[in-house]
Amino acid sequence: MTSGTTGLPKLVVRSHEALLMNARIFASISNESASTSFLKNTINILNVLCAAGQPVDKDWSEILDKITRSACFAYGLSEVGYCCSQLCATSSDVLPYVVGYPSAEGIEVKVVDENQQETSPNTHGELLVRAPWMFDGYLGNEEKSKSEFTQDRWFKTDDLAYKDNDGCLFVMCRRSDAIAWGVRTVYPSYLEKPIGSLSVIADVIIVPVPDKDRFQEICACVILCEGITLNEKEVADTCNSLFVKGTCAPKYYMVMDNFPYLSSAKPDKLKLISMAKERFNLN
């Protein structure tokens, strides 16, 4: 079953062979992630810690040599299984949004533009994935199943991604999370990255809210760092100092103690949108 990040969860039909292949790939990328070693200071530390399901940010570099010697960041989908992974042993290896390279022989990934042409390095587009063990379709939804594939059986992930000059893959966010800000298309990650870099911000999620003039406006849902006490106007003044006046920036800031989460442990963005609409009387 899909996680329901963008709507109702869908039942995914997969063969036993596909599930076994997925298990083998996970075993290969996790390797000895569960094993520990005993250090001089009597603190147990993992050899490898595997993480998936959320974009990589700079905070992950802080765990290296503290609770784990290395971190493996993986990317996958319910429809395909594990696709890509990247092993990071030093803080310089931990790059924002990195997911690395295909995790097994037979997995293909490419980034395409609106005309389904493969993009050049460092150019954003939609991520397509192809593997022999992909899902057989969504249960009871044949039309949706067919629409998710290209004619040559590439699965359209709806994820915004790019490859660097070395072919390393970076996955930013869902393309369907894009905000229709007037005539511009704004991807949440473009705003989350600079706002999240502020020393007073512990976490941030950008969501769209309705607007009669622009169609959608931008709302930043933020959690402040421990010990920081700022009201929403002070947060807005601090964050908006990052952006040139007249360029796209959040109109609304909603300060929260914590975010709502789905059962998959992913942020419940639909709930956040509902909370923002109520908070700012946008219904």
Q: Which long-range contacts (CB under 8 A, 24 or more apart) does 30-33 make?
A: 30/72, 31/72, 33/72
Instruction: Report d(CA 209, CA 271) in Å as an integer.
Output: 12
Contact present, 138 and 11 (Cβ < 8 Å)? yes
* Sole residue written with tokens 């990650």: 189
pLDDT at res. 209: 94
pLDDT at res. 36: 38
pLDDT at res. 31: 57
* CA neighbours closer than 13 Å in the CB half-sphere of residue 186: 25
pLDDT at res. 254: 97
Is the whole model's pTM more than 0.85, yes or no? no
pLDDT at res. 253: 96
Instruction: Report d(CA 186, CA 240) in Å as an integer.
Output: 16
- Domains, in order of start, for the chain: 12-175 (3.40.50.12780), 178-279 (3.30.300.30)
Instruction: Report d(CA 251, CA 240) in Å as an integer.
Output: 9
Q: Which of 218, 221, 122 has the alpha carbon at shortest distance from 177?
A: 218
pLDDT at res. 91: 83
Element (H, E) at 75: strand 68-77
Q: Where are the alpha helices (DSSP H) in the chain?
A: 16-30, 142-147, 188-196, 232-240, 269-279
| pLDDT mean by block of 10 residues, the chain; 283 residues | 65 80 74 41 68 76 81 86 87 87 90 92 92 82 82 90 94 83 85 92 94 91 95 93 87 95 83 94 86
Strands 169-174 and 155-163: antiparallel
Question: Which residues are CB-neighbours of 118 under 8 A, at least 6 positions away?
Answer: 110, 111, 112
Q: Which of 112, 109, 66 has the alpha carbon at shortest distance from 86?
A: 109
Instruction: Report d(CA 102, CA 105) in Å as an integer.
Output: 7
